[in-house]
Amino acid sequence: MAKKIEDNENKEPSEMPDPAANGGDKQTAVQRKIPGNLPYLTASGTLKKALDRLIEAQRPERFSVDFLENVLKLSGGAARATIPVLKKMNFLGSDGTPTELYTKFRTDSGRGMAAWQGLRSAFQEIFRRSEYAHSAEESKLKDIIVEITGLKSNDPVAMAIRGTFNVIKSYVPSNLDLNAPTAEINEATEPLENKAPLRPEVRDGPSREIGLLYNINIVLPETSDLNVLNAIFKSKREFDEMRQAEKIELFILKCASLKMSVDGNSPADVGARTIEKEPEIFASINQFSSDVRANADLMSRYYKLFFMLENDIRKLIDETLSEAYGLNWWDQYSPGSAKEECKFNQQREQEAAVTSRSENELDYVSFGQLGEIIRSNWILFGGILSNQKALGRVMFSLNTLRGPIAHCGLLAEDEIDRLKLTVKDWFRLLEGPK
């Protein structure tokens, strides 16, 4: 049994057993390639909430999952899926930086035009078939989507595409003047990071004023205390609103004060004090050779990276399926191979009489099974991730790299580079359908 599970974990996605073959599953993992690259959310109402709330919220430096959860108060898989849609709309740059079009949408006067521009950018194939698709009747829109995708009009994906289109369309007024100057519109789609930096104004004549051009580099202290980091960036936001030279000094002093308070309380110091309170552990660590301790320090950073990545993927799966099917989604919508592995690991834990690791079945399956769960429910994840085949390759690569990290091995230099690239590939997947 253990051998069977281990073999499954190390197979390429195309070699993995079909969940339907395990019996008891009510859905099969069917891969569908849908033409048109039209974005969609299965819960389009979440996009409506996100657009409504970003109008009121302060514009972030990066539109991230943290911003969704902590500022817009939206969480779950459907909330995450709004990010790739906003990128398709050219509201966000590839790194999540809000564009001028995002800013324009937040204004009462510019919202309608920005929404129209975003709609055209996200649904280019629809507008190729109908220049005035935003004004088309619902029946006409249905026909266009069927024509592009080849799906039936009542297919869940076709309905989700239509729902997503209509949410954005709802911000476009029926009397919108499409003959507005285009220069402003084109400029609006350009991410802020691509714009030339502002230069100080120098006036001619006797009353000539000399402007001040400055760069401030913030060196963040080594701390995991969110309160400290939030305080630093709060000062940065305050600085962005400042115009007077003396306030610059205040900002620098604030950062210096924060750094001084952190310098004496770094994670290394905290860890050392904790170990000193446990002399048995401290004595044991000193007995290991220096090279083993050095390798432990080296690998700890990659363990931390993978810990965050794997648990974020688990959270994405759980939130997405819980939203769609309820908290008890596991029994009906997880593939048979995942159920089998979960049951085996739970039983082994019970027989060992150790503390249960979790009440969530998802925490009892291996990393390799996470990709299978996503694949089996692609109708939900297709609007969040860019490509099912790419998902399989990325998950297989991550699973291979996970081995030496999870089993206290060492990663070679080229494998470290591969890990970094593969993590980047995962975040590219999260940019949504191309």
**Residues 16, 226: Cα–Cα separation, whole Å:** 41
Q: Are residues 20 and 146 in the same domain?
A: no
- State residue 389's pLDDT score: 87
Q: How confident is the model at residue 238 (pLDDT cuts 50, 70, 90)?
A: low
Asked whether residue 28 carries a pLDDT value surpassing 50, the answer given is: no
Residue 237 is which amino acid? R
Average pLDDT over residues 210-234: 60
| Of 149 and 434, more confident | 149
Q: How many domains does the chain have?
A: 3
Residue-level pLDDT at 19: 37
Do 371 and 405 sit in the same domain of this protein? yes
Which pLDDT belongs to residue 220? 60
Question: Last residue of a domain, which of 154, 173, 194?
Answer: 194
The pLDDT of 322-333, averaged and rounded, is 88
Q: Are residues 156 and 238 in the same domain?
A: no
Mean pLDDT score across all residues of the chain: 77
Structure confidence at residue 266 as a pLDDT band (50, 70, 90): very low
Asked if residue 218 is part of any domain, the answer here is no
| DSSP output for 49-82 | HHHHHHHHSPPPSS--HHHHHHTS---SHHHHTH
**Residue 250 shares a structural domain with residue 317:** no
Tell me, yes or no, whether 252 and 336 share the same domain.
no
357 and 260 within one domain = no
355: in domain: yes
**φ/ψ of residue 360, rounded to 5:** -95, 120
What pLDDT does residue 102 have?
96
What pLDDT score was predicted for residue 207?
46
In the block, residue with structure tokens 């085996």: 344
Are residues 60 and 168 both part of a single domain? yes
How confident is the model over 412-419, as a mean pLDDT? 90
Residues 164 and 304 in one domain: no
Domain match, 295 and 422 both: yes
Mean pLDDT of 366-376: 91
Q: What tens digit of pLDDT does each residue of 285-312 get?
A: 777 888 888 888 889 899 999 999 998 8
Residue 55 domain-assigned (yes or no): yes
Q: Are residues 145 and 236 in the same domain?
A: no
Residue 327 pLDDT: 87
- Local confidence band at 209 (pLDDT 50, 70, 90 cut-offs): very low
Q: Are residues 55 and 177 in the same domain?
A: yes
Report the DSSP beta bridge partners of residue 99.
191
Higher-pLDDT residue of 395 and 287 is 395
281 assigned to some structural domain: no
Most confident of 38-42, 80-84, 116-120, 249-253: 116-120
- What would the two tokens of residue 31 be? 């891969």
Asked if residue 99 belongs to a domain, the reply is yes
Range of the domain at 407: 2-27+289-429
For residue 201, tell me if it sits in a domain. Answer: no
Residue 387 falls inside a structural domain: yes
Q: Is residue 32 part of a domain?
A: no
Residue in 159, 79, 44, 86 with CA at minimum distance from that of residue 320? 79
Domain co-membership, 19 together with 135: no
Name 50's Cβ contacts closer than 8 Å, sequence gap at least 6. 68, 72, 74, 79, 82, 86
